[in-house]
Amino acid sequence: MAPAEQMGDSKGIILFAHGSRDPLWRAPIEAVRAHIEHAQPETLVRCAYLELCAPDLSQAARSLHEAGARQLTIVPMFLGTGRHAREDLPRLVAALREQHPDLQIALQQAVGEDPRMTALMAQIAVDPTTG
């Protein structure tokens, strides 16, 4: 049986972050990507950035689409839902849906608003040595 990406029905994840001119800023986002790729090698994963560095959301979606993804999940790697997640991201996702009508695109909430993440951040704040 052919791998999912060759069959054209694989799932893709885009880790969407703000971006920075400082290349070291990307390290945590890229580490999340690497964790997903290691744990679920059948899942296609790309990082995308709103500004100041590449790839942008459209480029990441195109890359996943070309690799065979037909289901995309966009994960805002923000601690909260500020203006970028509330206004900019929905516009970008709407444009993606127009550009790629054959893609199923799901948009998750900002990771920082997930109760599991807030609990983990609290745990780290109280005891930074565990982990």
Check residue 129 and give its pLDDT: 81
Give the percent of the chain with pLDDT over 70. 92
Give the percent of the chain with pLDDT over 90. 78
| CATH number attached to the domain at 4-126 | 3.40.50.1400
For the cut 90, the answer to whether the pLDDT of residue 4 exceeds it is no
pLDDT in tens, 63-104: 999 999 999 999 999 998 777 777 889 999 999 999 999 999
pLDDT in tens, 30-40: 999 999 999 99
Task: Quote the tokens at residue 130.
Answer: 């565990």
Please report, for the chain, the start and end positions of each structural domain, with discontinuous segments joined by +.
4-126
- ∠ CA 47-53-58, nearest 5°, is 55
